[in-house]
Structure 1
Amino acid sequence: MRINRAVLFWVLVLACAAGAVVALADIQTPARPILTALFLLVVPGASVVGLLRDRDPLAALTVGAAASLVINVLLAEAMLLFDAWSPRAGVATVAVLAGFMWVLRSLYRGNGSAHVEQGAGSR
């Protein structure tokens, strides 16, 4: 079961990366709508779930899915409001936001080392 999860994870990562590359490089392929939509729906949600990894898994996935939809809808509304509609800019903005959340998670959680409790009881 562990190998199947790892394979699924890396297939999803590669598909999302391919969606971003296809959209940013403006490559015309029949898989473009599927890969780009996969990137836009999975990446923001996955970055939010990464921030909530100590929570209940179902609650984290629900919040991640909701956050993904909210980020995409707010981005689309802002681009329409400012008359700056561009699918390439939308993908780039989602990538930058997801990267920012990844950096935030790395700073907040550390890079996988042991978590040191700080507070009044740690002295």
Structure 2
Amino acid sequence: MQAIRIKSPSSDTGQQTGQGTEKDLLPLLAGAAVAVGGVGAVLALIDLSSPLRGPFTLFFLLAAPGAAIGAALRTLTPWGRAVASVSGAMAVNLLVAQGMLALHVWSVRGGVVAVAVLSSLILLLTAGQRLRHRAAKRWTS
């Protein structure tokens, strides 16, 4: 049986020197990005005329596939993963737009839904692959 140890904040040297605050801000920034992207998608889907609809929807269209592709490429270096995820997000958006235009079914709502579905599919495939990898590790060890 393992004992669970909890460090007290006074024993953490990073907190005393002010170096641990970047790690504390990352989950907060990630949550804010998810909220902004979600609001952008909702504003585009309900067609609400708001000055925030354009920037928030654009953020969603770039961040959703970018985050999904970035999650799939965890083995790359952070800089390489950032470049690949931004490029992949732009490619997904361009392919969705081109496909919808070729099929004569272009609409803003449809584009947002298609990008959301593709991003979710990439995330689900990545999560499934990780679960299979963990299960295979458990069976071999």
Tell me, yes or no, whether TM beats 0.5.
yes
Q: Does residue 13 of structure 1 match 2:13?
A: no
2:65 is aligned to: 44
Q: Which amino acid is 1:60 matched to?
A: R
Q: Give the secondary-structure state (helix, strand or coil) at the position aligned to 1:78.
A: helix
| SS at structure 2 position matched to 1:84 | coil
C-alpha displacement of 1:43: 0.6
For residues 75 and 48 of structure 1, what CA distance do their matches in structure 2 show? 15
2:137 is paired with a residue whose SS is coil
Structure 2: gaps of 5 or more residues: 1-21
Q: Describe the SS at the equivalent of 1:54.
A: coil
My pick for the range that moved more, 53-62 or 41-50, is: 53-62
Identify unmatched segments of 5+ residues in structure 1: none
Distance 1:22 1:67, change over 3 A: same
Q: Which amino acid aligns with 1:30?
A: P
Q: For residue 47 of structure 2, give the secondary structure of its aligned residue in structure 1.
A: coil
Match of 1:73 in 2: 94
Residues 22 and 32, structure 1, Cα contact 8 Å, conserved in 2: yes
CA shift in 2, pair 1:117/1:64, >3 Å:
farther
Flag the structure with more relative contact order, 1 or 2, with Cα contacts below 8 A and sequence separation at least 6: 1
Indicate how the Cα distance of structure 1 residues 78 and 16 shifts in structure 2: closer, same or farther if over 3 A, else same: same
CA contact (8 A) 1:79 1:85 kept: yes
**Offset at 1:81?**
1.7
In the alignment, which residue of structure 2 is the partner of 1:92?
Answer: 113
Identity percentage of aligned residues: 31
Structure 1 pair 4/75, CA: closer, same or farther in 2 (3 Å)?
same
Distance in 2 (alpha carbons) for counterparts of 1:60 and 1:115: 26
Question: Deviation string for 1:4-28 (max 9, x for gaps)?
Answer: 1111111001000111111111111
Deviation at 1:54, TM superposition (A): 2.1
How far is the alpha carbon of 1:65 from its aligned partner?
0.6
The structure having more radius of gyration, on CA atoms, is: 2
CA root-mean-square deviation? 2.1
Q: TM-score, normalised by structure 1?
A: 0.88
Residue matched to 2:7? none
Measured in 1, the distance between the counterparts of 2:83 and 2:138 equals: 28
User: Where do 4+ consecutive residues of structure 1 move more than 6 Å?
Assistant: none
